[in-house]
Structure 1
Amino acid sequence: MAISVFDLFSIGIGPSSSHTVGPMRAAGMFAARLKRDGLLARTAAVRAELFGSLGATGHGHGTPKAVLLGLEGNEPHTVDIAQADLDVERIRTSRRIRLLGAEIGPAHEIDFDVSTQLVLHRRRSLPYHANGMILFAYDADGLPLLEKTYYSVGGGFVVDEDAVGADRIKLDDTVPAHPFRTGDELLRLARGTGLSISALMLENEKAWRSQEEILAGLLEIWRVMEACVSRGLGREGILPGGLKVRRRAAAAARALRSEGDPTA
């Protein structure tokens, strides 16, 4: 199986690809499905239920926050980090949610009570994966419009119940310029072609996208990583999630500077 660097380094809201990125994508897929099926305007209520690991550890991993942001149309790689907490607080306090409100165009705003319509089942699981969630939509009379089950299977990948009984993730059968399966094969290819490992991997990446797209994508990943580090070095206090974990990066950086490390 060939894996792109952009599958390995995926930009997304933290702290977890399976508990945060995947649920946000699933909620966004559900809202987009309502719109695609012509059901969005008729939707008067939605409910989300989280099962297995999502339900048991969801608060610590930011899963409820991710679901709310996903229903509003945010995507993990473009969500405004500075605005995200404010949007979640707006939903909680106003008891209103803007379905697909993050998209360009008018949002469909409905009542939403986080305490009753976002349910975390701490001891219940769905049959096919530990990270399961079910989303429901109802009309003004309380009649069901849509029900979808999603599984966040790791790395931010999401499948729905239609994939159950089949391959949950379709393996990428793209053939790169220099295929290999082991480190030894990679080294032999590098010696045989005269290419460095980085140059060889660049040639392989061209099986999916142009060199210009690859370089632009890598620079964007680097920009996001630098911004993440910068935010961590500039913030103190307690990490979100309810586990009362203290932020450590800023204090560690100060300690390194006091010891004379010029890179800290």
Structure 2
Amino acid sequence: MPHESISVFDIFKIGVGPSSSHTLGPWRAAQLFLQSLEQKHQLLQVVSLQVLLYGSLAKTGKGHGTDLAVLMGLSGEDPVTCDVETLDDKVQRIRTTKKLVLHGKQEINFDPATDVAFLFTESLPYHPNALTFMITLHNGEQLAATYYSVGGGFVQQENEKTTTTDAVQLPFPIDTADDLLHWCRKTGLSISEVVMENENSWRSDEDTRKGVLKIWQVMKECMFRGCHSQGMLPGGLQVKRRAADLNKKLLKDRTYTDYDSWIQAIRAGGSDFKYILDWVSCFALAINEENASFGRVVTAPTNGAAGVIPAVLHYLVVFCDGYNDDKIIQFMLTASEIGSIFKKGATISAAMGGCQAEIGVSSAMAAAGLTEVMGGSQRQTMMASEIAMEHHLGLTCDPIGGLVQIPCIERNTMGAIKAITASQLALQSTPDFAKVSLDTVIKTMWDTAIDMSHKYKETAEGGLAVHIPLSLPEC
């Protein structure tokens, strides 16, 4: 059986919030659909289009901006480069004019109110996150294509293989944690070194380093913005941003206009336990408040869990003297491999596995990255990952109002703190005495996902989502 090849840049993707599976995935699906039309020379023949959203995409699509994402993707906007400040204006223009310019080339009549259909009671069997594009051409021919957003921004077209990085022959094929440990033992390489050797199958060492540092730069910019942005989050829940107020309080009302000065000021505040705890929480809050505001974030491995890894990275940078490129790259490569193993052995989609598949996986990734950078062995690194996931097993996805806000934002703070704790435990432990392996906890997580009711899988039909009275405006 061939090994699935997943790159660090498949796990870490630059995109727009609030959800990798409900925003970034549908956006990418729309782009893929346009690409297929262009390849078949059909784009300029389209006269009408309808988008059908199924399952979880329908049930929580409004809160996640699924319709916005699809409109932007069909318009030719790219989530990596688009101006996030103008997205609302562009969507409103489409709604007002009832015109859509496909890929900026082919104008058609399109009314989002009727041409984007939320099929709340219908679901397709392969995956809860499904959407279908239906078009009519000039000659009257009708065509349809269905895509599945399978988590973390990964998209799969119906009856086709997953659209990840092009298949390559990796020197160290890895599907399980045991595979990874095998190659580490055989070569004597660390986890991050094994990952870098695999990445060299796609691009040069220098290009991988540049790409990872670009991801890190987006994380830093997102966190800095989040720590300096006030107001209410969109969506009608009246959730107040907290990161900026906490940042201001911790810095005793001092303000900094650039990232480096800000980090230096935080570091100068000392190493008191409560001080560190407050900052790790602030870092995670900042990222996910930006995510909830349709800001630019990095899937890590998802948007809903985007704050965990940057928060733990900033813990490393600020309080563990880890502010150098080599350590950042080492952390990211290690974390990405853990994320890919979870994706292959279980899922990173909350619609498939609940929040254990998002916050749990991100915490496991962060714990591994931190442990290797702090000098842990390969087995201690995997042990840290296992500990972090073990204490997220069964975590449900029950977003109030279908928005990635309550309890999602605070859960990132919990995931970050658990990752740091898991790393500390592993660094102080001897893996020989561990009773639970990383592969065992991954299998257990998948078994738990299968057993979990659909009400707790990003449908907003169970848990907190049905116990908090709401009066949300129509989007």
Whether TM-score is above 0.5 comes out as yes
Equivalences for residues 87-236 of structure 1 within 5 A? 87-101=90-104, 107-139=105-137, 143-163=140-160, 174-178=168-172, 193=187, 195-236=189-230
Partner of 1:250: 244
Aligned-residue sequence identity (percent) comes to 45
What's the C-alpha RMSD, in Å, of the aligned pairs? Answer: 3.0
| Deviation of 1:162 (Å) | 2.5
Q: In the alignment, does 2:22 pair up with 1:28?
A: no
Q: CA deviation at 1:144?
A: 4.4
Name the structure where strand makes up a greater proportion of residues: 1
Q: CA deviation at 1:85?
A: 2.3
In structure 2, distance between residues paired with 1:226 and 1:70:
26
Deviation at 1:196, TM superposition (A): 4.7
**Between 175-184 and 40-49, the greater mean CA deviation after superposition:** 175-184
Highest RCO, 1 vs 2 (Cα 8 Å, sep ≥ 6): 1
Confirm or deny that 1:46 pairs with 2:44: no
CA, structure 1 residues 170+9, in 2 after alignment: closer, same or farther (shift >3 Å)?
closer
The answer on whether the counterparts of 2:6 and 2:164 sit within 8 Å (CA) in structure 1 is no
AA paired with 1:214? Answer: T
CA distance in 2, matches of 1:39, 1:196: 49
Instruction: Name the aligned partner's letter for residue 100 of structure 1.
Output: H
- Please tell me whether residue 17 in structure 1 is matched to residue 17 in structure 2: no
CA contact (8 A) 2:6 2:165 kept: no
- Structure 2 letter corresponding to 1:135: F
Aligned length: 255
State the one-letter code of the partner of 1:96.
Answer: K
Moved more, 170-179 or 10-19: 170-179
| 1:56 to 2:50 alignment | no
In 2, distance between residues paired with 1:120 and 1:245? 26
Counterparts of 2:248 and 2:231, CA distance in 1 = 15
The verdict on how the C-alpha distance between 1:111 and 1:169 changes in structure 2, with shifts beyond 3 A counting, is closer
Given residue 89 of structure 1, which amino acid in structure 2 is its aligned partner?
A: Q
Structure 1 unaligned regions, length at least 5? 102-106
- What's the secondary structure of 1:71's corresponding residue? helix
CA deviation string 1:154-193 (max 9, x = no partner): 1212222233xxx656898645445566667756765765
Aligned equivalent of 2:411: none
Question: Take 2:201 and 2:224, find their aligned partners in 1: how far apart are those partners?
Answer: 34
Distance 1:42 1:180 in 2: 44
Distance apart, 1:55 and its partner CA: 0.3
Query: Where does residue 260 of structure 2 map in the other structure?
Result: none
Paired AA for residue 160 in structure 1:
Q
Q: Distance in 2 between matches of 1:214 and 1:256?
A: 36
Q: Which residue of 1 aligns with 2:273?
A: none
TM-superposed CA distance for 1:88, in Å, is: 1.3
Deviation at 1:115, TM superposition (A): 0.7
Alpha-carbon offset, residue 79 of structure 1: 2.6
| d(CA) in 2 for partners of 1:188, 1:139 | 54
Which amino acid letter does the alignment assign opposite residue 92 of structure 1?
R
What secondary structure sits across from 1:125 in the alignment?
A: coil
Query: How far has the Cα of 1:92 moved from its partner?
Result: 1.6
Counterpart of 2:132 in 1: which secondary structure? strand
SS in 2 for 1:76: coil
What is the TM-score with the length of structure 2 in the denominator? Answer: 0.48
CA distance in 2, matches of 1:36, 1:71: 15
CA distance in structure 2 between the aligned counterparts of 1:81 and 1:111, rounded to whole angstroms: 25
Closer/same/farther in 2, CA of residues 92 and 190 from structure 1, 3 Å limit: same
Counterpart of 1:27 in structure 2: which amino acid?
A
